[in-house]
Amino acid sequence: MEEKTEFLYVAQEQDIPLNERLFIEINEQPIVIFNLGGKLFAIGDVCTHDNGPVGDGQVDGYEVVCPRHGARFDIRSGKATKSPAFRDVPSYQIKVEDGKIFIKI
């Protein structure tokens, strides 16, 4: 059985200034979209170590550092890169058309 996935409109490009982030929720799933150097990346905003939000953490290169216990996740892929988290966070594909940001769910 084929799983249906679609791109959903979430914001305008100007809603996420350069090197800033935007917090959204889709289907009760918290997501954070990062604008790093003009490229957009989206990951789940839930640390896999303790289920707390991770998107408010410091950005170090392409990693976000969980503000509670220091776990790190690659913003480009959601991959857990430093303990105490060992499971990846969801990563979402983004596309921009005519200044509108869409995320694939």
Domain ranges of the chain: 7-104
- Cα(90)–Cα(47) distance, rounded to whole angstroms? 10
- pLDDT by residue (tens digit) across 34-71? 999 999 999 999 999 999 999 999 999 999 999 999 99
pTM of the predicted protein model: 0.92
Amino acid at 27: N
Rounded to 5 degrees, φ, ψ at 15 are -75, -15
Angle at the Cα of 104 from the Cα atoms of 99 and 32, rounded to 5 degrees: 75
Q: For the CA atoms of the chain, what is the radius of gyration?
A: 13
**Could you tell me the fold of the domain covering 7-104?**
Rieske Iron-sulfur Protein (2.102.10)
- pLDDT by residue (tens digit) across 9-36? 999 999 999 999 999 999 999 999 999 9
